[in-house]
Structure 1
Amino acid sequence: MKYALVTGGSRGIGKAICIQLASDLKYNILLNYHSNTEAAEATKTEIEKMGVNCDLLRFDVADHDSTQNSIDNWKKDNPEAKVEVLVNNAGITKDGLFIWTNQEAWDSVINTSLNGFYNVTQTVLKDMLRSRYGRVINIVSLSGLKGNPGQVNYSAAKGAMISATKALAQEIGKRKVTVNAVAPGFINSDMTSEFDENELKQLIPLKRFGDPEEVANLVSFLASEKSSYITGEVISINGGLYS
């Protein structure tokens, strides 16, 4: 059975990605979430209506041992399953001016995005390389490309993920495993709910925030065989705000 593993998949962009991969590509979904069991269960119900399986894995991607144990235990319980697609979507923000950013705000943002990428990707990558097929898609950010004031920690984490995407793509391309990044701008989600949309959309050529489903459509394409000659790329989806 072929699976797509999506971290932070219970809400927002992650949820939209899970639904799109199930709908477009008929992947069974391995949905990782950290704490909101109710949201994860609701997303699982929605996905399974499409006739695919959805297994829930609760762990914090920033915790190496917990991540590895959860995925390894799932593999033991599902020996016929194969993770063909990995979407590293889990991420958090703790915004504020750099001079006021305390150690916890720095570490937690870096650990979730960057160390989370390491912890999850390394756990599933060997199987992709053995089977000579795989898609790794990292959800990064406009902040990681151009920087964003008040988000030095988040910009640092996403910028590092962008560089890691390019390097890993070069290491494993010969095994037919592609690695790409998707860099959303302002997308309607919990993460942007407190932003001043009226003010910010004046900066965007398309004059609106994006929807999670629009990001999910791009991820679905990158997860498909249609994208087989694309690797090491960072694709912006931001309404023309920055490219």
Structure 2
Amino acid sequence: MASSGSLRGKLALITGCSGGIGSATARVLGKQGCAIAVHYNSATTKAKALVSELKALGVKAEAFQADLSDYSNVHRLHEQVVEKMGHPNVLFNNSAIANNAIGITGDIEKISVEEFENTWRVNTGSSFLLTQLCIPNMVQNKFGRIIFCSSVAAKTGGVVGPHYASSKSALHGLLHWIALRYAKDGITCNAVAPALIIGTTMFDFPNDELKNKIPVGRFGLPEEIASVVELLATNAYMTNKIVTADGGWVSGGI
């Protein structure tokens, strides 16, 4: 009988791992027994510090640099991870950019089509491609955990702009198809949809106006999102789901 099982001995590839949510997730999955492939783009110092921290805890970890706005770099990232650490069993597509944040009162003409496409390339296209590259080995081994970092913006429109919100909502259709197609192969596919998480580059300037939107009366912490990712990575029966973690901002799930 299939069960959730342990992640001990598995390899987790986490994109955007040098940021708040990525690094918190690396620590959590490392404690579960996962080796961690730490992806980063420009935050070299943070990535190396995280790798050193994980290794000090007895976790096998290596850092891999890649600018995910270029699809050739996505291929290179996957190849380097496989060559150095093996095939990922857990993929957390966490990397994302906001680009020009025009807010909820901005004008749509402030977002150029080039900026729109760049946002989609990083947030959606690279996640699709990396998932596509990882799935064949997961199918072969009858085990895989694919997790996307979405956003409440996918449901509400959010506070960044249409380029960001649409790039996140597109992940939902992607995960629904993947979850249904590969469930029989031991692969689950889910997403966490956070909102207003401090300690992240996506939310550098918290203010009381935004805090007033949150029923629990505070902003979220990266560790609270990491705990949701841990659930999605360890539970073999939970698939095709989007878990909202937003302090009660929106009702129901996404």
Flag whether TM exceeds 0.5 (same fold).
Answer: yes
* Correspondence for 2:204: 193
Q: Figure out how many residues of one structure are paired with residues of the other and give that number.
A: 237
How do 1:1-243 residues align onto structure 2 when only pairs under 5 Å count?
Answer: 1-23=9-31, 25-78=32-85, 81-94=86-99, 95-96=101-102, 97=106, 98-148=108-158, 150-188=160-198, 189-196=200-207, 198-224=208-234, 227-242=235-250, 243=252
Change (3 A) 1:160 1:192: same
Q: Distance in 2 between matches of 1:70 and 1:88?
A: 13
Q: Distance in 2 between matches of 1:175 and 1:116?
A: 23
In the TM superposition, what whole-angstrom CA distance separates every residue of 1:166-217 from its partner, at most 9, and x where no partner exists? 1110111110100001000111022212232x11121111010000000001
Change (3 A) 1:150 1:66: closer
Letter in 1 for 2:97: I
Q: Distance in 2 between matches of 1:210 and 1:69?
A: 34
Q: Distance in 2 between matches of 1:41 and 1:205?
A: 37
Structure 1 segments (4+ residues) deviating >4 Å: none
* Correspondence for 2:4: none
* Correspondence for 2:3: none
Cα-Cα RMSD = 1.4
TM-score normalised over the length of structure 2: 0.89
Letter in 2 for 1:50: L
- Where does the alignment leave 5 or more consecutive residues of structure 1 unmatched? none
TM-score normalised over the length of structure 1: 0.93
Q: Name whichever structure is richer in helix by fraction.
A: 1
- Where does the alignment leave 5 or more consecutive residues of structure 2 unmatched? 1-8
